[in-house]
Amino acid sequence: MNTLAYIIYLLITYLITVRVGFVFYRNGRIFILDLLKNDVSLTDAINRILLVGYYLVNLGYAALMISTWDEIISWTGLLFSVVFMTSKILLTLAVMHYCNMLVIYLISKRNKSIFHP
Amino acid sequence: MEPTLNFIAYLIYLPVVIILTWYVAHTLFKNSKVFMLDIFHGKTDIATATNKLFETGFYLLNLGFAFWIMEISYGIGSNRSMLEVLSAKIGGFCIYLGIMLFFNLYLFFRGRRIAKAKSLALAPLPKVEG
């Protein structure tokens, strides 16, 4: 039953990663625009590169986690292990997301103190 | 091996926590727009973007935590013990969610206070007559 679990797990992580990445892509643009002082073409380029990097890291991590999977023998075990692995991915994403927001906040604070005293 | 009720318990637990998280996040971030507009001095685009980012982070963190604590490590024998386990789990998650809600609210109030103090400090001095 491991194959079934892998298929469900990859489907869920793929959906979550792509949706969350799209939300970050759309809403993070304005922050990069602010940091780069309204340089639109450079912002779009950096934003797209960041999106691709984010997809690579997350989907790679999700695929890597499959190698640590236990043997599944029952439906209960299948449901539990899929949900547990998804929770690991979600928590990792959350931690990364909050770190990113902290970094953006710190950079914008430093820029303000230098350029707009 | 005797049949256990763990599977049914999981099937009840998952929709309950998902709907609970959705409801709390929906309510919180619908009403936090006012705070964000205050914090960013009425710049709508950056306020909406920050709001959306906070909302996504809230979902990720709380759903991740809810899924993380789902495990019931022993086999449930009777309906009664299933109800007890489920109520303990969902109640604990509700309290955690409430703490996160008030923590976010505290962050919003703090940001608003700091933004107000800054705009007061940057405001031009009133002209003195004479």
Q: Domain range for residue B29?
A: 6-122
Within a 10 A sphere around the Cβ of B45, how many other Cβ atoms?
12
Domain boundaries, chain A: 2-115
A27 touches chain B (CB under 8 A): yes
Measure the CA–CA gap between B75 and B69, rounded to whole angstroms. 16
- Considering the domain boundaries, does residue B71 fall inside one? yes
- Is the pTM higher than 0.80? The answer reads yes
Q: ipTM of this complex > 0.85?
A: no
Number of compact structural domains in chain B: 1
- Considering the domain boundaries, does residue B1 fall inside one? no
- Considering the domain boundaries, does residue B128 fall inside one? no
**Cβ contacts of residue B8 below 8 Å, gap of 6+?**
B82
Give B15's contacts in chain A (Cβ within 8 Å). Answer: none
Take residue B70 and report the two structure tokens written for it: 């789902």
A11 touches chain B (CB under 8 A): no
In chain A, the DSSP E strands lie at none
A residues 35-74 closer than 8 Å to B (CB): none
**Cβ contacts of residue A59 below 8 Å, gap of 6+?**
A13, A14, A17
Nearest to B56 by CA among A31, A28, A49, A6: A28
Which 8-state DSSP code applies to residue A66? G
Residue A25 burial by Cβ neighbours in a 10 Å radius (0-12, 13-18, 19+): middle
- Summarised one tens digit per residue, pLDDT across range A86-113 is 999 899 889 988 988 888 888 877 776 5
3-class SS shares of chain B: helix, strand, coil, % to 5 = 80, 0, 20
Answer yes or no: do A94 and B67 touch at CB < 8 A.
no
- Summarised one tens digit per residue, pLDDT across range B31-83 is 888 888 888 887 888 888 888 989 999 999 999 999 998 888 888 888 888 89
- Considering the domain boundaries, does residue B16 fall inside one? yes
